[in-house]
Amino acid sequence: MKRFRKWLRAEPRHTSLPEKLHSEDDENVELTMDLNQNERTFRDIFKNCFDINFRKISLAGQERQLVIFIASLVNEEIIDDHILHPMLVNGIDKEAENEQYDAEALDNSVISAGSTKRSSNVNEIVRQLLDGHAAILTGSDNKAVLVKANGIKQRSLEEPSSEPVIRGPRDGFIESLSTNVGLLRGRLKTSRLKTEAVTIGSLSQTQVVLTYITGIASEALIDEVRERVKRIRIDAILDSGYIEEFIEDLPYSPFPQVHNTERPDVVTGELLEGKIAILVDNSPIALIVPMTFWTGLQASEDYYVRWPIATFVRWIRFLFLFIAIFAPSLYVAVTTFHQEMIPTNLVLSIASSREAVPFPALFEALSMEIVFEALREAGIRLPKQIGQAISIVGALVIGQAAVQAGIISAPVVIIVSITGIATFAIPRYSFASGVRLLRFPILFLAGTLGLYGIVLGFLCIVLHVASLRSFGVPYLTPLGPVTVTSLKDVLIRVPVWARGKRPGAAGTSDSVRVPAGQKPSPFREDRERN
Amino acid sequence: MKPFLRICLILSILLTSGCWDRTEINDLAFITGTAFDLTEKGEYLLSLQFAVPTSSDGGGTGEPQQKFFVLSATGKNANEAFEKIQKKNSRKLFTAHRSVILIGESLGRHGINDVLDVFSHDPRQRLKTYIMVVKGGEAQEVLQTRYPFDQVPMEAVKEMEIQRAEIATSLRDFFLAASSPGVYPMMGVIEAVSEGSNPSNKTNMFKLSGAAVFKDLKLVGLLDGFEADGLNWANSHMKDGRINAELPEGIGNVGMVVVRASRMIKSDLRGDRIHFKIILHGKGTLIENNTDLDVSVPKNLTLVQHALEKSAEKQIHNAILKLQKQFKADAIGLGRELYRNKPTEWKAVQKEWDQKFAEAEVTVDVKLTIGGAGMAGPPLQLNAEEILK
């Protein structure tokens, strides 16, 4: 254990890559008044980059301005229409007056793009160039105008493939951070929705945005999340999954402590309950903290369908959660240790189906579970065209053929299928994966110790879950430490008009969500009179 | 705590505790029924019926597989015989699914003390198992019977007992009655019979036929089905029962189903004789009316009700008389009633209870509530003029 930890924490032998790069950069290089020298500086920095463009504007045989941009990052239409065109048109006028623009004049009265800034620091300019800005250097100033001209092609908004709904909004996050933030802003038109940006990754310079609603999210929580995110030091962030692993409370737990979603409406709902979302550029998955056990069992659609149905579905999920963890283990334990617990007719039919099977029940169940996992994994990774083949082969192999060949008994196939269905009934994929993982140790315990083993395993799970915390919030809240008022969104899903106050996690002034007294009822005259 | 120590402790849970007696389900021989008989040499003959797990879709062609088989062995006690049967069987004998224990009539009369104890000592026995006496002949004959309905014949017996059409006694009931003061245990009685009109191809069946009364763990007498029904009610064991009655003046007969029944016993000590009054309440519906009466008329219904009450009283009273005079065994627990409510009086009569019971005066009072006259008042096949209002 110690060695394992040591190995996990081991420092690389060489100086870490990010720091080396960092030291190469000279922070304080400033632009000069000499346009040619500035050009040389940038040409040097972007040596061997085919997509860097230097567009010189010379009027009357004199080089006056230099526009630098990275063609693969910008939208050239913006460059043409809002930078080059106004500069050339206005430049001719100025030429007549024999004047030259300095950076401020350019910025204020020539450039027609929306987002601009000025800088004289070479490093800053390089950073902005890499972020899709165009830099305009002028011979009469040591400052450059930076114009935002981002234009990476993005896919369009699509229905989130990992969290489909029958009823509810169908837009999902995409890989563009600004689009994603826009999706949230479109839902919460308030200035209280804050979007704090942090740049992480020495090479990737990935923008990570913390969003929350001031007055609803607690300040302590915001500070904690900000602290944890800012602590991250890494070369590149490729997906929000990287961030999740850095900020979670207990990395050894099978249960996810950071909630992730592809749906802007889920993020909005959680923000309204005082949680904090973390959006990461280039990732369509948003992170939400803190997470509780129950979020793992809630789907966004719960809030869009009528409440009795949602409540019923929630209880079905509790049942299936139990089945997903314990069904194969219970079967193994009962058939190998506690045969007296099965009704006589059932025990006889199980016995008859096991007559020809050569393996112990534990081995049967374990192997079928593993085959099922393989099928599931193969089904996800395979191209869609081949996917069908897998399901046909799977149904044949783990279904009929195995039973007919007398290798596997029919009840085990049924149990494994039910367990499979049960894990798919858990709406959050990351939570379901954790549950899937737990099944195997419990199965092993059941096969060696019987029901006693299952009880041991169950106790371990309960102890673990009860002690788990996500950003200071107990994982079982509001059932762990009981908060009666918050239970209305856990064990049942109360009607929207009965929602009342925000759940206890948010400790703030703005606690009422739905004012009381809105229960719908048919129109009555006496009500009108009162 | 050091991690190594922690791992050791967790491992020790796995290694030192729990059920290491793992047995696959197909290494077990499921006993569904047990029969005890007495051999001529005075040894016990133990027969066990095993279920043969067969798949229902086994091939389709060929003869249907036998669904059970019976193994027997003799021994000085149950354990010895059990051991002998285990040696004949490739799988481990598994008693937890046994549903019925059968006692041969001859063994019953000899005394069942020696075979009973094994059921209370061994934890792998179920006290919910029904215990019955086989009337006439050997108990193992019933085990051998092929019953067409259930996979295993003894399951059918269990189902019959669960219906509680007659006296059904589980091991638990039997032990309770045998060990408590003022009551003698009864058991259900089963009988092997053959059914069918074709004499060459008769089906072997079994039927419930009455009750057996035990006294000091010895069978003292058998009651027939009619009598047992009455006692069942007097014992407040009845789940549902049927009463039939002949109406006075030969108008015809009626029948009812009692769905709810209760019992109350009042005791009264007048000098030397003890007087018991058994009050039975029953609620049910009329299901048969072979008279010309319109039973939807209250007057007629009262007439029918009185006739039914009389009939039930007579049935129960006759059964009790048989217990009193013939067997001198208090199987309905009148003594227990006395023991509970009048302990000092009970102490006085406790020693000679059998005699006192035989002499006691028992009156039975049945009160019926007919909840409904069925779907029609008068029989539908009669025309209006024939009906007596």
Shortest Cα–Cα distance, A351 to chain B (Å): 6
Q: From A363, which residue of chain B is nearest by alpha-carbon distance?
A: B24
**A207 and A215 Cβ atoms separated by less than 8 Å:** no
Q: Suggest the residue from B1, B9, B15, B26 to mutate for an interface test with chain A (most A CBs closer than 10 A).
A: B26
A444 to chain B, any CB pair closer than 8 A? The answer is no
Q: From B124, which residue of chain A is nearest by alpha-carbon distance?
A: A340
A453 to chain B, any CB pair closer than 8 A? The answer is yes
Q: How far is it, in rounded angstroms, from Cα A369 to Cα A328? A: 9
Q: How many CB atoms lie within 10 A of CB B48?
A: 26
Q: How far is it, in rounded angstroms, from Cα A256 to Cα A241? A: 11
Q: Tell me the mean pLDDT in the region A62-89.
A: 85
Q: What is the pLDDT of residues B320-330, one digit of tens each?
A: 888 888 888 88
Residue numbers in A near B16 (CB within 8 A): none
Residue numbers in B near A453 (CB within 8 A): 18
Q: How far is it, in rounded angstroms, from Cα A270 to Cα A298? A: 12
Compute the half-sphere exposure of residue B182: CA atoms within 13 Å on the CB side of its CA: 17
Q: What is the pLDDT of residues A414-434, one digit of tens each?
A: 999 999 999 999 999 999 999
* More confident call, A20 vs A296: A296
Instruction: Decide: residue B75, CB within 10 A, 0-12 exposed, 13-18 middle, 19+ buried.
Output: middle
8-state DSSP, A10: P
Q: Tell me the mean pLDDT in the region A8-20.
A: 50
Percent of chain A surpassing pLDDT 70: 89
A319 to chain B, any CB pair closer than 8 A? The answer is no
Give the confidence band of B69 by pLDDT, cuts at 50, 70, 90: confident
Give the confidence band of B244 by pLDDT, cuts at 50, 70, 90: confident
Judged by CB atoms closer than 8 Å, whether chains meet at A344 and B30 is answered as yes
A354 to chain B, any CB pair closer than 8 A? The answer is yes
Residue numbers in B near A350 (CB within 8 A): 25
Q: From A332, which residue of chain B is nearest by alpha-carbon distance?
A: B24
Question: What pLDDT, on the 0 to 100 scale, is given for residue A270?
Answer: 92
Judged by CB atoms closer than 8 Å, whether chains meet at B19 and A349 is answered as no
Q: How far is it, in rounded angstroms, from Cα B172 to Cα B270? A: 35
Q: Suggest the residue from A339, A350, A412 to mutate for an interface test with chain B (most B CBs closer than 10 A).
A: A339
Q: Tell me the mean pLDDT in the region A33-44.
A: 88
Question: What pLDDT, on the 0 to 100 scale, is given for residue B161?
Answer: 79
Q: H/E element holding B319?
A: helix B298-321
Query: Is the pLDDT at A15 greater than 50, yes or no?
Result: no
8-state DSSP, B388: B
Helix, strand and coil in chain B, % to nearest 5 = 35, 30, 30
Q: What is the pLDDT of residues A201-259, one digit of tens each?
A: 999 889 999 999 998 888 899 999 999 999 999 999 999 999 999 999 999 999 999 99
Q: How far is it, in rounded angstroms, from Cα A374 to Cα A381? A: 11
Q: Tell me the mean pLDDT in the region A295-309.
A: 91
Closest to A347 measured CA to CA, from B30, B83, B266:
B30
Question: DSSP letters along A475-522, please?
Answer: TTTTTTTT-GGGGGGTTS---GGG--BPPTT--SS--BSS-S------
Q: From A334, which residue of chain B is nearest by alpha-carbon distance?
A: B25
> Does A478 sit behind a cis peptide bond, omega within 30 degrees of 0 on the bond before it?
yes
Question: What pLDDT, on the 0 to 100 scale, is given for residue A307?
Answer: 93
Question: What pLDDT, on the 0 to 100 scale, is given for residue A415?
Answer: 93
Query: Is the pLDDT at A22 greater than 50, yes or no?
Result: no
Residues in chain B: 389
**CATH architecture, domain defined by B225-389:** 2-Layer Sandwich (3.30)
Shortest Cα–Cα distance, B145 to chain A (Å): 19
From the list B4, B30, B56, the residue facing A347 with the nearest CB is B30
Give the confidence band of A293 by pLDDT, cuts at 50, 70, 90: very high
B3 to chain A, any CB pair closer than 8 A? The answer is yes
Judged by CB atoms closer than 8 Å, whether chains meet at A337 and B14 is answered as no
Judged by CB atoms closer than 8 Å, whether chains meet at A339 and B152 is answered as no
Q: What is the three-class DSSP state of A52?
A: strand
B200 to chain A, any CB pair closer than 8 A? The answer is no
* Neighbouring residues of A77: CB distance < 8 A, sequence distance ≥ 6: A151
A6 to chain B, any CB pair closer than 8 A? The answer is no
CB crowding A317-333: b at 16 or more within 10 Å, else e: beebbebbbbbbbbbbb
Domain ranges of chain B: 26-54+65-223, 225-389
Closest to B173 measured CA to CA, from B256, B251, B235, B96:
B235
Q: How far is it, in rounded angstroms, from Cα B378 to Cα B381? A: 9
Percent of chain B surpassing pLDDT 70: 89
Q: Suggest the residue from A344, A448, A452 to mutate for an interface test with chain B (most B CBs closer than 10 A).
A: A344
* More confident call, B146 vs B71: B71
Question: What pLDDT, on the 0 to 100 scale, is given for residue A326?
Answer: 95
Q: H/E element holding A123?
A: helix A122-130
Query: Is the pLDDT at B94 greater than 80, yes or no?
Result: yes
Q: Tell me the mean pLDDT in the region B364-378.
A: 78
Q: Tell me the mean pLDDT in the region A262-283.
A: 93
Closest to A135 measured CA to CA, from A124, A122, A144, A123:
A144
Shortest Cα–Cα distance, A331 to chain B (Å): 11
Instruction: Decide: residue B65, CB within 10 A, 0-12 exposed, 13-18 middle, 19+ buried.
Output: exposed
Closest to A267 measured CA to CA, from A172, A179, A363:
A172
Strands of chain B, DSSP E: 28-38, 44-51, 68-75, 92-94, 100-104, 130-134, 186-195, 203-215, 218-223, 241-246, 253-270, 273-289, 361-372
Compute the half-sphere exposure of residue A322: CA atoms within 13 Å on the CB side of its CA: 7
Judged by CB atoms closer than 8 Å, whether chains meet at B152 and A351 is answered as no
Strand pairing partners for A32? none
Give the confidence band of A16 by pLDDT, cuts at 50, 70, 90: very low
Shortest Cα–Cα distance, B19 to chain A (Å): 5
Q: From B50, which residue of chain A is nearest by alpha-carbon distance?
A: A348
Place of tokens 């008693």: B95
Orientation of helix A344-354 relative to helix A410-424, angle to 10° = 100
**B281 and B364 Cβ atoms separated by less than 8 Å:** no
Query: Is the pLDDT at A200 greater than 90, yes or no?
Result: yes
Shortest Cα–Cα distance, A448 to chain B (Å): 7
Judged by CB atoms closer than 8 Å, whether chains meet at B30 and A340 is answered as no
Cα A185 to the chain's mean position, in Å?
18
Of these ranges, A17-21, A133-137, B14-18, the one predicted with the greatest mean pLDDT is A133-137
Which A residues 172-191 touch B at CB under 8 Å? none
Q: What is the three-class DSSP state of A175?
A: coil
Place of tokens 């879950």: A465
A123 to chain B, any CB pair closer than 8 A? The answer is no
Closest to B134 measured CA to CA, from B37, B5, B231:
B37
Closest to B157 measured CA to CA, from B136, B125, B129, B138:
B129
Strands of A144-229, DSSP E: 144-148, 193-200, 206-213
Q: What is the pLDDT of residues B333-349, one digit of tens each?
A: 888 888 888 888 888 88
Question: DSSP letters along B173-228, please?
Answer: HHHHHHHSTT---EEEEEEEEEE-S-GGGPEEEEEEEEEEEEETTEEEEEE-HHHH
ipTM for the predicted complex: 0.79
Judged by CB atoms closer than 8 Å, whether chains meet at A337 and B23 is answered as yes
For chains A and B, count residue pairs whose Cβ atoms are closer than 8 Å.
86
Judged by CB atoms closer than 8 Å, whether chains meet at B25 and A2 is answered as no
Please calculate the CA angle B368-B372-B374 and round it to the nearest 5 degrees: 125
Q: From A455, which residue of chain B is nearest by alpha-carbon distance?
A: B18
Alpha-carbon distances, residue B320 vs B135, B210, B324 (angstroms): 21, 14, 6
Residue numbers in B near A2 (CB within 8 A): 3
Judged by CB atoms closer than 8 Å, whether chains meet at B18 and A449 is answered as yes
Query: Is the pLDDT at B143 greater than 90, yes or no?
Result: no
**B310 and B245 Cβ atoms separated by less than 8 Å:** yes
Question: What pLDDT, on the 0 to 100 scale, is given for residue B200?
Answer: 66
Give the confidence band of A19 by pLDDT, cuts at 50, 70, 90: very low
Q: How far is it, in rounded angstroms, from Cα B171 to Cα B163? A: 17
Closest to B131 measured CA to CA, from B105, B96, B169:
B169
Query: Is the pLDDT at A278 greater than 90, yes or no?
Result: yes
Q: How far is it, in rounded angstroms, from Cα B54 to Cα A445? A: 30
> Does A290 sit behind a cis peptide bond, omega within 30 degrees of 0 on the bond before it?
yes
Shortest Cα–Cα distance, A507 to chain B (Å): 37
Query: Is the pLDDT at A399 greater than 80, yes or no?
Result: no
Q: What is the pLDDT of residues A145-185, one digit of tens each?
A: 899 888 888 888 989 988 889 999 999 999 999 999 999 99
Q: What is the three-class DSSP state of A30?
A: strand
Q: What is the three-class DSSP state of B285?
A: strand
Closest to B371 measured CA to CA, from B264, B254, B257:
B257
| Encoded amino acid at B95, one letter | T
Judged by CB atoms closer than 8 Å, whether chains meet at A348 and B152 is answered as yes
Query: Is the pLDDT at A504 greater than 80, yes or no?
Result: no
Q: How far is it, in rounded angstroms, from Cα A180 to Cα A217? A: 20
Closest to A68 measured CA to CA, from A80, A77, A78, A55:
A55
Residue numbers in B near A336 (CB within 8 A): 22-25
Percent of chain B surpassing pLDDT 90: 6
Q: Tell me the mean pLDDT in the region B294-305.
A: 83
The pTM of the full predicted model, rounded to 2 decimals, is: 0.83
Alpha-carbon distances, residue A215 vs A222, A267, A278 (angstroms): 11, 17, 18
* Neighbouring residues of A28: CB distance < 8 A, sequence distance ≥ 6: A121
B12 to chain A, any CB pair closer than 8 A? The answer is no
Name the token pair of B179.
């060990």
**A79 and A134 Cβ atoms separated by less than 8 Å:** yes
Question: DSSP letters along A368-410, please?
Answer: HHHHHHHHHHHHHHS-HHHHHHHHHHHIIIIIIIHHHTTSS-H
